[in-house]
């Protein structure tokens, strides 16, 4: 499967999983050291194909025909600041949007919060969609994190490859839904910094070797 086909498949999967509807959300991958390949603006899952994707330089210069997603600056800024990142996913998934519209971080209510790099999942301050300010806010929220919420907007995930970025987005929507459900019962009991540190240590070997008892 070509890189373009992988982006299309990721876009379709996000639609199938219910994380995006219509033309909301966008997907990109890094192209070389100074470029990106991104889904086009205003396109839904029924119409996207490999030929419709748009290649840009990180400076925004067009390298192919088409109009890129309105959030291309956010993707480009993430690639500029995080050289280890090779794929970015942005969705308007329900639970993430609900928390983002409350401008809420997701705290250490569950140990899986550690899987995103810290003891919380940050919610970036609000800025208008498609703006340079939103791009800057997203980068700050993603510092030492693999995902964040965007106030009154949605969520972002970044990873070393597209499959991982999509899975991170799917898992975050589930975690956000769990947090929203927990809040219906009252304020959750949060894990302590010491408890979270133990989780971080275990995540270092998770999926690679057998854990100690």
Q: Which residues are catalytic?
A: 71
Bridge partners (DSSP) of residue 170 are: none
Is the Cβ–Cβ distance between 141 and 80 less than 8 Å?
no
User: CB-based contacts of 154: which residues, under 8 Å, 6+ apart?
Assistant: 24, 25, 90, 91, 92, 93, 96, 97, 100
Residues 6+ apart with CB under 8 A from 1: 9
Nearest 5°: phi and psi at 106? -100, 110
Distances (CA, A) of 109 to 98, 100, 118: 17, 17, 12
Give the list of residues 6+ apart from residue 190 with CB closer than 8 angstroms, or none.
107, 108, 109
């Amino acid at each position: 499967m070509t890189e373009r086909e992988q982006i299309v498949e990721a876009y379709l999967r996000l639609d199938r999983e219910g994380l995006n509807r219509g033309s909301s959300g966008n997907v990109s991958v890094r192209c070389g050291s100074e470029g990106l390949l991104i889904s086009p603006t205003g396109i839904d899952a029924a119409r996207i194909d490999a030929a419709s994707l748009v290649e840009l330089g990180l400076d925004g210069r067009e390298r192919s025909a088409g109009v890129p997603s309105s959030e291309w600056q956010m993707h480009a800024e993430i690639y500029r600041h995080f050289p280890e990142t090779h794929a970015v996913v942005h969705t308007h998934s329900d639970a993430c949007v609900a928390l983002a519209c409350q401008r809420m971080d997701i705290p250490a209510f569950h140990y899986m919060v550690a899987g995103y790099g810290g003891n919380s999942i940050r919610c970036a301050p609000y800025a208008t969609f498609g703006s340079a300010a939103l791009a800057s806010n997203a980068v700050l929220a993603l510092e030492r994190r693999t995902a964040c919420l965007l106030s009154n907007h949605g969520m972002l995930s970044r990873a070393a490859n597209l499959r991982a970025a999509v899975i991170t987005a799917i898992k975050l929507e589930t975690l956000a839904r769990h947090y929203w459900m927990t809040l219906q019962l009252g304020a959750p009991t949060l894990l302590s910094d010491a408890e979270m540190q133990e989780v971080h240590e275990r995540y270092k070997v998770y999926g690679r070797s057998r854990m100690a008892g």
